[in-house]
Amino acid sequence: MNNNKIIVEQIDCYYHSWFEINNIYHRWAVTHGIQDTTLFILYEIKKQSPGCTQSGICNKLFLPKQTVSKILSDLGKDNYIYKETNTKDRRNKLIHFTEKGEHYANTILEELKLAEIEAFKLMSQEQRINIVESFKSLCDSLSEKLY
């Protein structure tokens, strides 16, 4: 088998795994009554605490402005978030969790993090390092070749 054919098969396996990982997160979010996009937005709000912007979320997650706006609007209606004027850039509002939202997000995100930790524990330290380094290397290589 020639080298290109082997590489194409490896790329196919990579895609299969990538899609399956996305599907796993999607199914997990749905079982918790949310969409995966909401899950990742909650993650970004928490990660960027003490405040993030809608445009920051859009840029980080590569989601359309309308999608993020709708999810943030729903989170606001449920009293999970509030927005305040960004004193450094009045065009963008900072998004913060309310106390209720902090509890809601922590409950969901901590459960997910514990599951991810347990999944990683099923692999050796070497496998975990290889995954992280391999993804970083793939990102760098794709960026170099595509841009």
For residues 85-112, give the mean pLDDT.
91
Of 102, 103, 101, 84, which is closest to residue 93 (Cα–Cα)?
A: 84
> So what's the pLDDT on residue 1?
65
Residues 60-64: contacts with CB under 8 Å, at least 24 apart: 61/37, 63/37
> So what's the pLDDT on residue 14?
94
> So what's the pLDDT on residue 59?
93
Question: Residue 87 pLDDT more than 90?
Answer: no
Query: How much is the pTM?
Result: 0.86
> So what's the pLDDT on residue 39?
97
Express each pLDDT in 39-78 by its tens digit.
Answer: 999 999 999 877 789 999 999 999 999 999 999 999 999 9
Express each pLDDT in 12-24 by its tens digit.
Answer: 999 999 999 999 9
